[in-house]
Amino acid sequence: MEKILVVEDDAHISEMLCLLLGQSGYLPVAAFSGTEALLHLGQGGFGLVLLDLMLPGKSGEEVLEELRKTLSKVPVIVLTARVDKETTIKLLRLGADDYVTKPFDNNELLARVEARLRRSDDERGEAAQLTHKAIRLDLGAFDAFAGDKKAGLSKREFEILHLMMANPNKVFTKNNIYESVWGGEFWGDDNTINVHISKLRGKLFAISPDEEYVQTVWGIGFKMSD
Amino acid sequence: MEKILVVEDDAHISEMLCLLLGQSGYLPVAAFSGTEALLHLGQGGFGLVLLDLMLPGKSGEEVLEELRKTLSKVPVIVLTARVDKETTIKLLRLGADDYVTKPFDNNELLARVEARLRRSDDERGEAAQLTHKAIRLDLGAFDAFAGDKKAGLSKREFEILHLMMANPNKVFTKNNIYESVWGGEFWGDDNTINVHISKLRGKLFAISPDEEYVQTVWGIGFKMSD
DNA sequence: AAAAAGTTTAAGACTTTTTTAAGACTTTAT
DNA sequence: ATAAAGTCTTAAAAAAGTCTTAAACTTTTT
């Protein structure tokens, strides 16, 4: 699910935007100031940014400028009340990908969000990657790598690792894993997950023998090793 | 020097645009109808397209649609007199990158052209050569070659291969393939894609027997072999 | 030391993919 | 409009790969 950063200081508008995006299947994250936005952006993982121009802390222009300085290519759609051409030109030159003038039409905003996301998917070539210690999970290739060595994960193994790497600090119970990966009620006395974890460990060991990646938390479940 | 295709039937506006672009260091190429535009686009080599919507021959929408069907990623900026939201949404969904309403301001147009070109430079990294190992995909001939041996692909086979070669690192699910090549909802338990993949493999094998090109990723889909 | 929890192995069940072939459909040429 | 040629879809059986189960083994907790 695509994460979208919503940078907007007006709580009412922010809420409305998050609701709209949430209903459309995106994962909105709200930031209420320019500085907060940059903190979030530092974490990475966003597919798109909706950026208001008038912000406390740092202006939208400054946020955009700093973001582009870090060479981040995340698409940015600017929300603006100003409509003069100079502002537009400046924004485009700074690296905005599009802009929407307030008050905006929800459908138009959504269409622009979709167009931008679709296009950046296409252009990225390969999908986003999650990394943990020496392993890199390639979401486009559906596999894990250590350097250039491929683990050759099966679908379930990949999904289990993906789940755990998305939240490396969380301990996942078998119940958690079963419901996320298999998608149904957990039957309890099932050894299936243990077997998959075992095979997953084997494949990770094969490409990166000096680290332990999947840690067991006795009586509770599994997590990524610290 | 960047080639820009100017698709505009009004000779006066076309000339003005070409002059403006020429003065800014681009190489404008004028097309005066939709069909002419598609002929030029078939040759490739354009860094950007300025596309008027009201055209003789084929409408701008049709041109855009056909262009995107061939998976071309060339940025398109639409020139339009219409400003209603529905048109906007449709254009963005069809894959336009931006639009400018007529009458437009020269500076704004230039800024948008620059923004778009700069961005696609960044993202392209290097010019997309549609070759993979020993096979070369000829987008004009709608066929694949190994050396001088022709595969004789059918339209669907060509489109599947084109899709996968455009992103050789990505795994394509059957859903991906169906929606890109057939262009509709995927019905699920359909064997059609498997059969096409099988035939495609057969034809690639016939012209280049020593390599495997289409790899299956179990439980997920297909990708170009590493 | 016993019980509980986790790990590993290997075999068979199960699912997905490949291939083949026949008929439906589409396009092209006459 | 019709015939011919080529392409696409469907169905079914074979092949390949993955998942689950069960049982034996190891580690941790009480």
How many helical (H) and strand (E) elements, i.e. helices and strands, does chain B have?
8, 12
Q: How distant is the Cα of A8 from the closest Cα of chain B, in angstroms?
A: 23
Is the shortest CB-to-strand distance from A215 to strand C under 7 Å? no
pLDDT of A121-130, one tens digit each?
555 433 456 7
| CB of A218 within 7 Å of some strand C atom | yes
For residue A37, which of A69, A13, A70, A60 has the smallest C-alpha distance?
A: A60
pLDDT of residue B4: 94
A107 vs B: CB within 8 A: yes
Instruction: Based on the fold, state whether residues B145 and B203 are members of the same structural domain.
Output: yes
Are A120 and A135 members of one domain?
no
Upper half-sphere CA count for residue A190 (Cβ side, 13 Å): 15
User: pLDDT tens digits for A1-23?
Assistant: 889 999 998 888 889 999 999 98
**A180 and A138 belong to one structural domain:** yes
What is the mean predicted confidence (pLDDT) over B5-34?
90
| Closest residue (Cα, C1') to D22 | A191
Is residue A26 located within the same domain as residue A110? yes
CATH code for position A98: 3.40.50.2300
Q: State the alpha helices, DSSP H only, in chain A.
A: 11-23, 34-43, 60-69, 85-94, 106-124, 155-166, 174-177, 192-207
Q: What is the predicted pLDDT for the residue at B19?
A: 93
Helix (H) / strand (E) element for A28: namely: strand A27-31
Q: Is the domain of A93 the same as that of A177? A: no
A vs B, Cβ pairs < 8 A, gives: 76
Q: Are residues B166 and B219 in the same domain?
A: yes
pLDDT value of position B127: 36
Model confidence at B212: pLDDT above 70: yes
Q: What burial class does residue B216 get, using C-beta atoms within 10 Å of its C-beta: 0-12 exposed, 13-18 middle, 19+ buried?
A: middle
pLDDT attached to residue B207 = 93
Q: Residues B16-27: what's their mean pLDDT?
A: 91
> CA-nearest residue of chain A to B166?
A125
Comparing alpha-carbon positions, the chain A residue that sits nearest to B172 is A140
CA-to-CA dists, residue A116 to A216, B89, B94, angstroms: 41, 12, 12
The reply to whether omega before B103 is within 30° of 0 (cis) is yes
Residue A159, C-beta contacts closer than 8 angstroms, at least 6 positions apart = A180, A181
Which residue among A95, A122, A125 sits closest to B169, beta carbon to beta carbon?
Answer: A125
How many domains would you assign to chain A? 2
Protein-covered nucleotides on strand C (Cβ within 7 A): 5-10, 16-21
The DSSP code for A104 is -
Question: CA A144 → C1' C2, Å?
Answer: 41
For position B69, what pLDDT does the model report?
64
What is the predicted pLDDT for the residue at A38?
82
Amino acid at A122: D
The residue segments making up the domain with residue B163 are: 131-224
What tokens were used for A43?
């974490």
pLDDT at position B125 is 36
Asked if the Cβ of residue B174 lies within 7 A of any atom of strand D, the reply is no
Closest A-chain CA to B219: A155
Query: Which parts of chain A sit beneath pLDDT 70?
Result: 69-72, 81-95, 119-129, 186, 188-189
Q: Is B12 on the interface with A (CB under 8 A)?
A: no
Choose among B88, B112, B223: nearest Cβ to A92.
B112
Identify whether residues B34 and B100 lie together within a single domain.
yes
Per the model's pLDDT, the better-predicted residue between B148 and B184 turns out to be B148
Closest-CA distance of chain B to residue A91, Å: 9
Are B87 and B171 within one domain? no
Parallel, antiparallel or unpaired: strands B131-132 and B214-217: unpaired
B110 and B180 part of one domain: no
Last residue of a domain, one of A101, A124, A147: A124
Beta bridge partners of B216: B222
Residue A9 structure tokens: 């200081």
Whichever domain contains A210, its CATH number is 1.10.10.10
What is the C-alpha to C-alpha distance for residues B84 and A48, in angstroms, rounded to an integer? Answer: 25
Mean pLDDT of chain B: 82
- The whole-number pLDDT of residue A189 equals 66
SS3 A63: helix
- Among A88, A114, A143, which would you mutate to test the B interface (most chain B Cβ atoms within 10 Å of its Cβ)? A88
Q: Which tokens belong to B129? A: 């050569």
Residues of B in contact with A85 (CB under 8 A): 105, 107-108
**Chain B hits for A182, Cβ within 8 Å:** none
Q: Is the pLDDT of residue B185 over 80?
A: no
* C15 closest protein residue (CA to C1'): B219
Question: Is A117 in the same domain as A135?
Answer: no
Do A23 and A48 form a contact (C-beta atoms < 8 A)? no
Distance A222 CA to C5 C1' (A): 13
pTM: 0.57
Q: Last residue of a domain, which of A106, A124, A142?
A: A124
Q: Do A154 and B218 touch (CB under 8 A)?
A: yes
Contact status of B93 with chain A (Cβ, < 8 Å): yes
Is residue B8 located within the same domain as residue B118? yes
How does strand A214-217 pair with strand A221-224?
Answer: antiparallel
- Domain boundary residue, one of A102, A124, A146: A124
DSSP B72: -
Residue whose structure tokens are 């909802």: B185
Q: Give chain A residues 50-109 with Cβ within 7 A of strand C.
A: none
Q: Would you report the helix, strand and coil content of chain A in percent, each value rounded to 5?
A: 45, 20, 35
Residues belonging to chain A: 226
Interface of A with B in 185-214 (CB under 8 A): none
Lowest-pLDDT choice from A201-215, B101-115, B198-212: B101-115
